[in-house]
Every structure is written in C-alpha cells, then in structure tokens.
Amino acid sequence: MLMTESMPTSAPATRAPRLLRVVAWLSFLAETLIIATGGAVRLTGSGLGCPTWPTCTAESLVNTPEMGIHGVIEFGNRTLTGLVGILALAVVVLVLWLRRSRRDLLALSLVVLGGVVAQAIVGGITVLTGLNPFIVGFHYVVSLLLVCVCAAFLTRMDEASGPRVRAVPAWYAVLAHVTTLAMAFTIAFGVLTTGAGPHSGDAAAGRNGFNAEVLEHIHAWPGYILFALTLVLVVAAWRSDLRPRAWVSTLLAVELVQIAVGLYQARNGLPELAVGVHMVLAALAAATMTVVVLRLKQPAAADAVAPVAVAAHTAAS
C-alpha cells in the first residue's frame, strides 16, 4: 500500500545532536556559496588573479597588493575552499559516532569530503591550463553535485535508516526520474553555453568553440521541457496527496525564478550579476530535485524511529 503525505510514516524522530545539525547545514551553505564566489571569479575576469597554484604567486602564498581586486577575488575563493573542506571534515567526524546505525550518512559525508579534495585539485588544473573552458565547466558541475549530496545528507537525516519502499505510484516515480534527466540536460547545455559566451574568467582565456547563440536556444529547449514536467508533477502530487508535494512545489518555484533570470540575461547582454544568480539557482534547483527523488521512497517500517533528524525540513513537508 502506498503512503501519502498526510499519512504518518514513522514515530516522532529523535533529534540529531545539535552540533551535527548546525555543521551539516553550514556545509550545505558553504558548498552553495563557493559556487557564487567561483562565479564571481569568472564573471569579474579574476580567473587568473592568482596565476599559480597552490600558491597565489611564485613568491607568495597569498595575494599581493600589486595584483589588485582580481587577486583579492581569486584568493578569497581559494580561502573559502579551505572552509568548505573544514566543514566537510567536521561532518565526517561527527557522523563517525553514528557509523553503526547510519552508514548511509557516513557514506554521504565521505563523498562530500572526497569531492572537496578533488575540487581543489581540479581548481589547480584549471589555473594551470589557463582556464580551459571544459575544465572550468567540469569544475562547476562537480560543485553542483556536491551541493546535491549535501542536500541528500540533510534529507536522509530526517528519516529512519534501513530499507526504504516506494511511497508513490510507479508512473509518478518514472516521471520524476525523467524530469531529473531533463534537468541534467538543461544544466549540461547551460555549462556549454557559458563556455562559449563572453565570461571566460580572463581576457586571454579561450572559449570552447561552439556557437553561443545556437547553444542559448538548445539550452532553452530542455529547460522548458523540465518546467512542463515539473508542472505535471506538482498537479499530480497535490491532486493525489503524494509525499513529495511540498518539494515539487518548491522546485517549480525555483524553476520559475530561474526561467525569469535566464530570459532577462539573454535579452540584456548577459549582465554579470544575472549570470551569477543563474548559476546559483541551477545548483539550488538540482538540490531540490535531489530531495524530490529521495522523497519518492520512505522507511519500510511504518513505526521506525529515526536515530537522527533535521528539523529544518519539517515545515516544508
């Protein structure tokens, strides 16, 4: 029997240790913020503000006054990477106390920590290759995926561990996964479009060689398909009182703002601030989609008590 949003699926969950909840949310926020600062590096032409890696210059670990604002922006982004790593490590250490009962959370936290380390290396390769647009695009996609993993961590903290069962009709689950695929295509073509556009991160950096105007239209097609599929998910969820109804509604709202920003930037010469907002919204949309997919299932035992929970999702669901 499928359970709906209005039907209780578990007993009141035990609260997570306060420190773990706080650090986990800070980790999610930091992963999102570093996308914003990374966008600032690129959009202000500061991609080579620190021309070497891992030091800022051959003689200095940090930026120097002679490097101006570009050095400040690039080094600031590198500094935030250190904070992101510290928070990711802190989550792993705190989850280790729960490793016997919550191996899922431990696995997710290790993915984030490993991803942060890998991102630092990719960032170095980006500088050493003179901001190769394909590596820059890959760098952004990995950051976006890490935001999604952090969102998955927060979502799973809110539910019991153990086996999970589908909580929606099969057709709805299939439609949700198709919607996820549409989002993946939208983001992928968005990355290629940016790599062909004017915001290269540095005046001397190359472009990917594609026609930016053509890619703008191709990027829009899966975007509108994504919006249409999300609208169907929202209507069906509310009509049938399905479990992820609050989150698909949130996803639709994010997509509406994203479409508006996308149209604005395309019609106004790609202003830097709008492009940066568009990048961050894409990450938030992907994170919300992650929560939607996870909420297609629920703990198998109706009376299961979650060892840990995050109160932040209660109001939304």
- Checking if the pLDDT of 64 tops 70, the result is yes
pLDDT tens digits, one per residue of 193-203: 888 777 665 55
pLDDT digits (tens, 9 = 90+) for 131-145: 788 888 899 999 999
Backbone dihedral region of 162: left (phi > 0), alpha (psi from -120 to 50 degrees) or beta?
Answer: left
- What's the pLDDT at 100? 80
How far apart are the two ends of the chain, measured CA to CA in Å? Answer: 21
**Beta-carbon contacts of residue 10 (< 8 Å; ≥ 6 apart):** 159, 160, 298, 299, 301, 302, 303, 304, 305, 306
What pLDDT score does 204 carry?
60
Residue 242 CA: distances (Å) to CA of 196, 227, 249:
41, 19, 12
pLDDT in tens, 158-181: 788 778 899 999 999 999 999 999
Q: Mean pLDDT highest for which of 111-125, 170-184, 293-307?
A: 170-184
Q: Quickly count: other Cβ atoms within 10 Å of residue 124's Cβ.
A: 14
pLDDT of 255 reads 96
Q: Is the pLDDT of residue 16 over 70?
A: no
* Mean pLDDT to the nearest integer, 49-63: 81
- pTM score of the predicted model: 0.84
Percent pLDDT > 70 in the chain is 86
Evaluate the omega torsion of the peptide bond into residue 307 and state whether it is cis, within 30 degrees of 0. no
pLDDT reading at 310 higher than 80 = no
**Mean pLDDT across the chain:** 84
- Position 206 scores a pLDDT of 64
pLDDT of residue 7: 38
Amino acid at 115: G
**Paired residues of 284 in beta bridges:** none
| Per-residue confidence (pLDDT) for residue 303, from 0 to 100 | 43
pLDDT band at 312 (very low <50, low <70, confident <90, very high): very low
In this predicted structure, the answer to whether residue 5 has a pLDDT above a threshold of 80 is: no
pLDDT beyond 80 at 147? yes
- State the amino acid at position 112 in one-letter form: V
Specify the pLDDT at position 9. Answer: 40
Q: Which residue has the tokens 């969102």?
A: 151
- What's the average model confidence in pLDDT over 16-35? 92
- Across 3-7, 12-16, 73-77, 195-199, the highest mean pLDDT is recorded for 73-77
Instruction: Convert the pLDDT of each residue in 241-287 to its tens digit.
Output: 998 999 999 999 999 999 999 889 888 888 888 888 999 999 999 99
Q: Give the per-residue pLDDT at 45.
A: 75
